[in-house]
Amino acid sequence: MSKEKIWLSSPHMGGTELKYIHSAFDENWIAPLGPNVTGFEKDIQVFLENDGKSECEVAALSSGTAALHLALVLLGVEHGDEVICQSMTFAASANPITYQGATPIFVDSEEQTMNISPLELENAIQDRIQKGKKPKAIIAVHLYGMPYQVDAIEEISKKYDIPVIEDSAEALGSTYKNKNCGTFSDYSILSFNGNKIITTSGGGALVTRKKEIKDQAVFRATQARDAAPHYQHSKIGFNYRLSNISAGIGRGQMEVLAERVSQRRKMFEFYVNLFSEVEGITVQQAPNSDYFSNHWLTVIHVDPEQCGFDREVLRLHLEQENIESRPLWKPMHLQPVFQDAPFYGTGIAKKLFQNGLCLPSGSNLSDEDRDRIGSAIRECLTKYSKNYG
């Protein structure tokens, strides 16, 4: 019989989610609005404001992708516009640009955080302006929970007067200079997809510092109905609101978010110890104490020259043991669907993709799971490594 699967990141219920779902049933709030939605938005707001530095408004939505799309809509991104996007990310960061008929302009990563390179970002902006179009927005991502270089990106955003859309889908619970990720922009987004640090099975949120932006987001997300007794529309709308049932799961999950962050960070520490004396494998770490990552996923880099094997050997070895691991997000400028989109960079994201691997990082992994992961990795090192043992 094959061993039980160890997942990269699987949903982890806290125990009180059903209580909120039952109350929705009891009160017949089986709708894309209701007390769980309002309560969930408040819970997220309270959490994000717990740094004592942030003030925010939250609109709960059907997905992080919907939140990104709405952010672009509210920023007035239209057909023919250009929007800058971190190349190394999940496709959902970039796809909504094309929903608006705009063109994505991809920018390389820097090595410290694996996120958008301030240097290449500025090159890209200057070149696009010189070519005749100023980009309408910058989509920056806190990849795998690691904050991007917030100060540097904000400075460029201000210098050129181009707003940042903060893709914090993977970074709820992370902070930069003790301020919560998800609060650095008027258009920040969160995801509660099944693999995220907390989940509503599917869901997301737009977080903003301005009440009028929240109101506009909710208006657009509920089919843009004007104030009239009949159905009247003067703007294009979407059906993007989170359901009251899903929000019930979210309310339960918010009760355990802080615990989930420490559990994910414990997994990260486990890998730091495991690889501490392994030449050629490095665990992606925060550059300094300004960066606090929720370590949604722990990332390692396998140097094939030093190790004598590449990350694919390790991935396949783990797969044989029924342990899931996954290459990093393949950069968007290398994706067939975006082959015609401009790219600014030197190849750092590509190298990170070639050598990087995400290891099982779920908050629900047990000591037994960690033992299995540790043994499988040690076995792989003994079998293939030039320097191990």
Ligand X SMILES: Cc1ncc(COP(=O)(O)O)c(C=O)c1O
Would you say 144 or 275 has its CB closer to ligand X?
A: 144
Would you say 103 or 191 has its CB closer to ligand X?
A: 191
Q: Report yes or no: 290 and 176 within 8 Å, Cβ to Cβ.
A: yes
Sorted by sequence, the CB contacts under 8 Å of residue 160 that are 6+ apart come out as: 125, 129, 134
The reply on whether position 184 binds ligand X by CB under 6 A is: no
Would you say 171 or 218 has its CB closer to ligand X?
A: 171
**Of 124-163, which residues contact ligand X (CB under 6 A)?**
141
Would you say 169 or 247 has its CB closer to ligand X?
A: 169
Would you say 43 or 170 has its CB closer to ligand X?
A: 170
The reply on whether position 90 binds ligand X by CB under 6 A is: yes
For ligand X, which residue of 92, 124, 283, 377 counts as binding (CB under 6 A)?
92
Choices 27-35, 57-65, 106-114, 209-217 (CB under 6 A): range interacting with ligand X: 57-65
Q: Report yes or no: 192 and 199 within 8 Å, Cβ to Cβ.
A: yes
For ligand X, which residue of 63, 115, 174, 183 counts as binding (CB under 6 A)?
63
DSSP state for residue 224 in the 8-state scheme: T
CB atoms closer than 10 angstroms to residue 290: 15
Would you say 187 or 275 has its CB closer to ligand X?
A: 187
Q: Report yes or no: 167 and 143 within 8 Å, Cβ to Cβ.
A: no
The reply on whether position 169 binds ligand X by CB under 6 A is: yes
- Least spacing, CB of residue 349 vs ligand X, in Å: 14
For ligand X, which residue of 9, 87, 93, 199 counts as binding (CB under 6 A)?
93
- Least spacing, CB of residue 240 vs ligand X, in Å: 11
Phi and psi at 94, nearest 5°, equal -100, -35
The reply on whether position 116 binds ligand X by CB under 6 A is: no
d(CA 333, CA 342): 8
Would you say 60 or 256 has its CB closer to ligand X?
A: 60
- Least spacing, CB of residue 294 vs ligand X, in Å: 13
The reply on whether position 250 binds ligand X by CB under 6 A is: no
Residue 159 CB burial class (10 angstroms; 0-12, 13-18, ≥19) = exposed
The reply on whether position 166 binds ligand X by CB under 6 A is: no
Strand partners, 57: 208
The reply on whether position 206 binds ligand X by CB under 6 A is: no
Q: How many positions of this chain bind ligand X (CB under 6 A)?
A: 14
The reply on whether position 65 binds ligand X by CB under 6 A is: yes
Helical spans, DSSP H, in the chain: 17-26, 35-48, 64-74, 91-99, 118-130, 150-160, 211-221, 244-254, 257-274, 304-307, 311-320, 348-355, 367-384
d(CA 356, CA 75): 34
Return the H-helix or E-strand segment holding 175.
Answer: strand 175-176
Would you say 95 or 306 has its CB closer to ligand X?
A: 95
The reply on whether position 64 binds ligand X by CB under 6 A is: yes
Residue 306 CB burial class (10 angstroms; 0-12, 13-18, ≥19) = middle
Binding interface with ligand X (CB under 6 A)? 63-65, 89-90, 92-93, 141, 167, 169-170, 191, 193, 204
